[in-house]
A and B are shown apart, each in its own frame.
Chain A
Amino acid sequence: MTALLKLTGVTAYYGAIQALKGVDLEVNKGEIVTLIGSNGAGKSTLMMTICGNPRARDGHIHYDSQEITRLPTFEIMRRGLAQSPEGRRIFPRMTVHENLLMGAFGRPPHEAVQTMEQVFTLFPRLKERMAQRGGTLSGGEQQMLAIGRALMSRPRLLLLDEPSLGLAPLVVKLIFGAIRELNRTTGLTVLLVEQNAFQALRLAHRGYVLVNGAITMAGPGAELLARPEIRAAYLEGAH
C-alpha cells in the first residue's frame, strides 16, 4: 500500500509553545486512521498543521507523494484534501444548500449538483433541511452538514476533527456508520481525530495515540483497543 498522507518529524509551535514534537504518521489509500488523545494533546493542532495553518516548523508533510509542507492553506485544500473542522463551523445564516455549495468552491457547477445528490444519499436528513438556515439545525444535523460540506469538494482524503463532539450516542453511531459506509463504498481515505477512543478505534483500521504532542503508540484499531494502558487511559468507565 502507498501512503496518501505522510508526516515525518513534524513540529509546530504557537509562539514559544511547542504543540507538536516531531510527529510521524502515515495514512494509506483507502484506510480509516484515527488519532486519539486527551484534551490538549495536540490532535487538532496536528489536523490544522496538515492544512498549513499553523505551518509546520520542521519536518515534512507529503500528500500523494508531493510535499505540501510550505503551501498556503487554500493550495493544500485544492489538491484533494477536505476538512470538517472542530466544532463543525458551519455558516449559521446561510441555508443548508448554500453551505454545501461553499464546499464545492472552485469546482465546476454541474459537478456540485451531482455531488450534492451523493451527500443527500448519505445524509437524507440534509435534503429535508435544504432550505433551512445552518444555525437552526440540531447539533447532529450540523455535524452531518459539516461532513457533507467537506465531501462537496470530492476529496480523496477527508480530515474529520471530533465529529462526535457534543452529540448524543445514537447520533454518533449514525455519523460513524456513515463514515464507514463512505469508506467501504467509495474507498475514501479518512483521518479521524477523536476523544471518543472506543468508538473511533472500533471504526478505524489503524490508530495512533498522541500524548503531549508526540505519538506514543500506533497499531491496528482492534489491537490498540485491547491494550491495557489504552483501556486505563482512555476507556476507563466507557461502554
Chain B
Amino acid sequence: MSKYPAALGGKSQPPALVRVVRDAGLSAIVAFGLFASMIGLRLFPTGNGMKLHYRWLMLAAVVVAVFAGRVIMLTWRANRPAGTPQPRRIAEAINHAGKYVGAVFLIAAATLPLYGGRYFIDTGILVMTYVMLGWGLTIVVGLAGLLDLGYVAFYAVGAYSYALLSTTYHLGFWTTLPIAGLLAAVWGILLGFPVLRLRGDYLAIVTLAFGEIIRVVLINWTSFTGGPNGITDIPRPTLFGLKFNGSGDPDTFAAFFGIDYSLTQRVVFLYYVIFGLALLTNWVSLRLRRLPLGRAWEALREDEIACRALGINVTVTKLTAFAIGAMFGGFAGAFFATRQAFVSPESFNFGESALVLAIVVLGGLGSQLGVALAAVVMIGGSELFRDFAEYRMLVFGVGLVVMMVLRPRGLVSGRTPSIALGARKEIAAELVAQGRG
C-alpha cells in the first residue's frame, strides 16, 4: 500500500478510491472473521440447556465501523503533509507547559478536599497512592533502568510490617512508618543481591518471581500472617495523638477542636497523609537526581560497562536504587494497611506490579510529572469507567495500545538534564538512540 496519492503513483496503480475501498474491504472481512463468533453468536442458558442467539445487527455494525475507520485512516494518511512530524517541537511544548501543568496539578491536589466530595477524596487517596508507588518505582526503573516486575513485594512488606507491628505490639502509625520503610529497603537489598548480574528480560523474570514468592509466603505462613484471611482491625493513624472516631473521648480530633465528628475528617486526614508521603517521595528523588548517586543511576541505565570503566561501584549503585525504591514502596504499603484497616495477600498480586509499571512507562520513564499524569489517567480513568464494568478493561487496553503507538516513550518523554546550563535546549528522547552511543 502506497503512502502517496494516486496522482503521484503513475499509470500502473489503480485509482486511489479503488485502493482505499479494497483495503478497507479486506479489513472488514478480517473483522467479520474475528467477530462473527465473538459478537454474532451468543449462548443463553435456558431451563434445560443452552440456546443460541444470533446478533447479526450488532456484528454488521462492528464490521461497518471497522470499514469506515479504515477508510478514514487511509484518507488521513494520504493527505498528511509530507515529511516527518517534529517530535522536538512537541517535546519542547510539553516540557514548556510542564512547569505550569505541574504547578496547577499541585495546587489542585493540595486543595482537593475543599471542593471534592467524599467519593472524590477517596478516589484522590487511591490515585495518590499510585502516584507515590509510581514515583518510587521510577527510581528503580526510570532512573537506574532496572526492570522490576515485582515491586508489589515491597508494597506488601510495608503493609504487613505495619499491620503486624501495630496489632501485635500496638505501635502507632508514625512510629511504624519508618520501620516499614526500613524493612522494605532490607528486602530490596535482599532481592538486589541475586540479580546483580542480571539485566533486562532476565532481571524482569527474577523480580517477577520474587513478587510471587512474597505473596505465596503471605498466603501460606498462616500462623504469622493470618494466611488468606489476612489481618483485620489495623489501627488508624492519629494526628499528634488525636484519634479520628466518633467516641467523643477528649483525645479525638473532633472533641479536641470542639467540632462535630464526621467520617470525612478522617478521609481528609488520610488524603493529606498520602499527599505528604507522595511529595516526600518526589522531593527525595528529585534531590537524588542532582547528586552524584542519582547521576550514577542514570549512567547505569545508559551503559553499565562505561560505568565500570569510570570507577563506579556498580554493585553499590544498583543496591541503593533497589533499596530506596523499595523503601518508598514500603511507606506506601504501610499507608495502604492503615487506610484499609485490613490487609490480605490478595491485594498484592502481579496485577498491582503491572499496573504500577504501566503507570511509570506510560508517564515516560524517569519523568515525575508524567508518572503523576499517568496515575491520574489510569486510576482515575478506570474509576470513571466503573459503571461500565464489563468494558473497563477493554477501554483500558485500547487506551494503552493507542498511547504506545502515538507516544512510544510515554506522555512526557524528554529527559531534563540534572544540571541546567543557562539556556535550556530540550532534545526529544525520540532523537537520541537508546542504549549504546
Contacts and interface: CB of A to CB of B under 8 A. Distances in A.
Interface of A: 51, 53, 72-74, 76-78, 82-85, 87-95, 97-98, 101-103, 105-106, 130-136, 142, 149-150, 153
Interface in B211-258: none
Contacts of A74: 308, 311-314
The 8 closest A-B pairs by CB, nearest first: A77-B311, A135-B432, A89-B306, A91-B302, A92-B437, A74-B313, A83-B309, A90-B437
Contacts of B312: 74, 102, 105-106
A93 B309 contact: no
B418 interface: yes
Given A93-B429, A131-B424, A132-B427, A153 B310 contact: yes
Contacts of B422: 131
Contact of B427 (A90, A130, A133): A133
B437 A91 contact: yes
Size bin of chain B's contact surface: 35 or more
B201 interface: no
Given A73-B308, A153-B310, A92 B433 contact: yes
Contacts of B45: none
A101 B313 contact: no
Given A93-B302, A95-B417, A133-B427, A102 B434 contact: no
A73 B312 CA distance: 8
B421 interface: yes
A97 B419 contact: yes
Contacts, number: 118
Contacts of B306: 85, 89-91
B19 interface: no
A53 to B, nearest CB: 6
Contacts of B392: none
B292 A105 contact: yes
Nearest to A72: B313
Most-contacted residue by chain A among B308, B424, B434 (CB, 10 A): B308
Nearest to A101: B295
B435 A98 contact: no
B311 A94 contact: no
B341 interface: no
A94 B417 contact: yes
9 contacts: A74-B312, A74-B313, A85-B306, A89-B303, A89-B436, A97-B419, A98-B298, A101-B295, A153-B310
A95 to B, nearest CB: 5
B299 interface: yes
A131 B419 CA distance: 9
Interface in B286-328: 292, 295-296, 298-299, 302-303, 305-314
